[in-house]
Amino acid sequence: MPAHMRKSAVLSNGSLAVGLNEQGLVSDFYYPYVGQQNLTNSRRRPHYIGVWVDGVFSWTHEDKSWFIEVRNSEDALQAHCTYRHDGLGVELTTTDFVDPKYDIFRRQVNVTNVSDQDKEVRLFFYQTFRLSQDGRTDTVLYVPDDHYIYDYKGRVCLLIAGEVADQGPFDQWAVGNTDIEGKEGTFRDAEDGELSKGLVEHSSVDSTIRFSCNVSSKETKEVRYWVCAGDSQYDVERNHAVARTSWNSRDNAHQQHWRDWHEISNTKLDTLSEKEKTVVKKSLQVIKAHIDSHGGVVASLDSSIFNYGRDYYSYVWPRDGVYVMRPLLHLGHHKEVLSFLEFCSRVLKPGGYLQHKYQPDGSVGSTWHPLDHHGGKRLAIQEDETASVLQLAVEYYFLTDKNEFLERHFDTFIVPMAEFLLSYVHPVTDLPYPSYDLWEEKLETTTYTTAMVIKALNDFKKLLTTREATSDNVSLLTKIDNSLSRIEKSLHNLKTDSGYYSKGVKSGNKLDSTVDISTLYGLILGDISDTEGVRKTFEEITNKLIASNGGIIRYEHDNYFTRNGNPNPWFVATLWLAQCAGTHAINDNDLADRLLQYCLDYIDITNTEMLPEQILPDDSKEKIGVTPLIWSHAELIQTILQLKTAR
């Protein structure tokens, strides 16, 4: 099976997150932070499902006779998978979710005999975890007292167990080694229908458990499988007891949890069509699955990117987090927004700026941005990230009127960001110092970043006027007014001779005339008053950034993940242009609707509805990049809300 098979579902409770691939197999397993430490061995293989029927064995991922379909629920964060094999005469339907209260991944399998003959069915679950970084110092053992498999290393402990409902627990097991000493793994032990019942193994380890049942013609048997996570054997055994004794009640609790969560935003979706409501609700669930309980918003839990790239997307980019939080804020999900802002306040540098990206625990993420540029020192940042977070903090305050938040963070979080933006302006150009663009590629002073700084300072000014007129506040207001006047005036220097705004200015004050969707979006979001310049920028984008299949590419000659030299449309870029077209500044509702429909056409609401980062510029609808990218889902929600609720 291809190692780069993408996600069809991501299930999470904020500390335990499980990703299923396109065949419904567990391929990612994150704990105790969502997105930080992937405990699976998915770069080599996911967790397999094997079926033995009357002496014939089959792996669902290997045997092409299996019909496989994965669907995500609209009303709760759970996945439903169907596996049907007409030759074996069986159908498996699974319901998977992560318990919202306990760190338990649950999989309920209904095994149906669709044939006219009674059958003996054996169901095998193979799992391979890598708890230590090198995957060479783990231990796996069978625990007879409570009949489970225990996989542990230090403070990360997993318990694997299950039962046939109304019959009893799994009847055989195997523990062993994988990918060392010539051993493939215990999944090979399953292929004769029997398991060896080994007791313990260490180093690079795996395990397989078996459930056996006799299933009469047209009868269905229920198999329950669970994996508990914790930081000690006591913790996982406590969760094990919950799974074993409260199966149905926890299912009800899970459903109620999501009903309550959706109730927060349901009334705000009343004006949408049924399809639009479904799209928004499923997208909200995808986003929620990527939010760590400590506030970090992970860009994507799709680990397949590492198989053909250098790193994962499971980081917290402050800017991406802002764009993800904006629709949640307007839909009433304030708890998540506050948690994200608290995360940003904890990681803010003493100088008042945010770094490139972070891990979910708040430590600094990897970067490719140097500090030394040909002898000149420069912060390895994207200044727009700090500006965007300041915007969100102010927006959160005015929409929620949370005085406690403001009082707690005004002097230590909000003011330092504003003062940094005021200080990070070149004394000659009166524009922000060069920093990396939002696509993480170019070090220059971009129109987008400049517009984000202008908006952030205007927003902060609005907030500051609500405060008591102390001498410090009056002095800060004066600084803001002076700085805004200079920056807004100098912004016009970024226009080309043709009248449209360039991407930005490079070293040596040379304009970068690249046509970039972020330029227009920054101008619109920043409420820049140059109507003619904004209109000409819009015209350049519609002339140069529309792909042959109707989607929008990020910028001219974009070569990220391209094939045959043709840039790929991005969902974010396409939805950004839709949002811009729908504003009073552009007022092209036909284009806005067409671009939104373009994105909706790539979604089958009956199935997984996971939006990727990019698609090929042809009509193949092939996904490129990570799937899902929650930024894509956030902009889809934002566009639907903007275009459909405002008319």
pLDDT digits (tens, 9 = 90+) for 336-365: 999 999 999 999 999 999 999 999 999 999
User: Of 616, 28, 32, 612, which is closest to residue 286 (Cα–Cα)?
Assistant: 612
Q: Tell me the two tokens of residue 424.
A: 């990070």
Instruction: List, for residues 387-419, the tens digit of each pLDDT value.
Output: 999 999 999 999 997 788 888 999 999 999 999
Give Cβ neighbours of residue 417 (< 8 Å, ≥ 6 apart).
348, 352, 353, 386, 387, 389, 390, 393, 456
Confidence band, pLDDT 50/70/90 cuts, at residue 607? low
pLDDT at 521 over 70: yes
Q: Where are the beta strands (DSSP E) in 496-645?
A: 504-506, 510-512, 614-615, 623-624
pLDDT at 647 over 70: no
Confidence band, pLDDT 50/70/90 cuts, at residue 311? confident
> Which CATH number applies to 7-244: 2.60.40.10, 1.10.3720.10, 2.70.98.40, 3.30.1490.100?
2.70.98.40
Better-scored residue on pLDDT, 506 or 361: 361
Confidence band, pLDDT 50/70/90 cuts, at residue 576? very high
Chain position carrying tokens 């449209």? 500
To the nearest whole percent, how much of the chain has pLDDT over 70? 97
CA distances from 1 to 46, 59, 80, 496 (A): 9, 11, 21, 50
The alpha carbon of residue 35 and the mean position of all alpha carbons in its chain are separated, in whole angstroms, by: 9
pLDDT at 89 over 60: yes
Residue 56: burial class (beta carbons within 10 Å; 0-12, 13-18, 19+): exposed
What's the chain's Rg over C-alpha atoms? 27
Rounded Cα distance between 80 and 68, Å, is 11
Q: Tell me the two tokens of residue 396.
A: 């959160």
The alpha carbon of residue 114 and the mean position of all alpha carbons in its chain are separated, in whole angstroms, by: 38
pLDDT at 429 over 70: yes
Query: Which amino acid type is present at position 183?
Result: K
Sheet holding 504-506, edge to edge: 435-436, 443-446, 504-506, 510-512
pLDDT confidence of residue 372? 85
Q: Tell me the two tokens of residue 85.
A: 């094999």
Compute the Cα dihedral for 634, 635, 636, 638 and give only its sign.
positive
pLDDT at 309 over 80: no
Q: CB count, 10 Å around CB of 407?
A: 9
Rounded Cα distance between 90 and 59, Å, is 13
Q: Tell me the two tokens of residue 270.
A: 């009343």
Q: Tell me the two tokens of residue 647.
A: 């008319």
CATH-assigned architecture of domain 315-530:
Alpha/alpha barrel (1.50)
Q: Tell me the two tokens of residue 540.
A: 């350049």
Query: Which amino acid type is present at position 486?
Result: R
Long-range contacts of range 343-347, CB-CB < 8 Å, 24 or more positions apart? 343/294, 343/295, 343/296, 343/297, 343/316, 344/295, 344/318, 344/389, 344/413, 345/409, 345/412, 345/413
Beta-sheet pairing, 138-143 with 148-153: antiparallel
Q: Give the angle 81-177-92 at the CA atoms, nearest 5°.
A: 15
User: Would you call 180 helix, strand, or coil by DSSP?
Assistant: strand
Tell me if 528 sits within 8 A of 534, measured CB to CB.
yes
Better-scored residue on pLDDT, 263 or 5: 263
Tell me if 122 sits within 8 A of 212, measured CB to CB.
yes
CA distances from 422 to 122, 148, 253 (A): 67, 59, 49
pLDDT confidence of residue 3? 41
Instruction: List, for residues 3-42, the tens digit of each pLDDT value.
Output: 446 789 999 999 999 999 999 999 999 999 999 999 996 5
Give Cβ neighbours of residue 645 (< 8 Å, ≥ 6 apart).
268, 271, 272
Instruction: List, for residues 180-196, the tens digit of each pLDDT value.
Output: 999 999 999 999 999 99
Rounded Cα distance between 449 and 434, Å, is 9
Give Cβ neighbours of residue 138 (< 8 Å, ≥ 6 apart).
129, 130, 131, 132, 151, 152, 153, 202, 203, 204, 205
Query: Which amino acid type is present at position 450?
Result: T
- What is the average per-residue pLDDT within 373-398? 92
Confidence band, pLDDT 50/70/90 cuts, at residue 2? very low
Question: What global pTM score does this model have?
Answer: 0.96
CA distances from 231 to 41, 131, 148, 239 (A): 20, 12, 17, 12
Chain position carrying tokens 């009303």? 75
Q: Give the angle 292-24-114 at the CA atoms, nearest 5°.
A: 140
Average pLDDT over all residues of the chain? 94
CA distances from 480 to 428, 457, 524 (A): 18, 7, 21
pLDDT at 178 over 60: yes
Rounded Cα distance between 210 and 273, Å, is 46
To the nearest whole percent, how much of the chain has pLDDT over 90? 86
End-to-end CA distance of the chain: give it in Å, rounded. Answer: 47
Q: Provide the residue ranges of all domains of the chain, joining segments of one domain with +.
A: 7-244, 274-310+545-647, 315-530
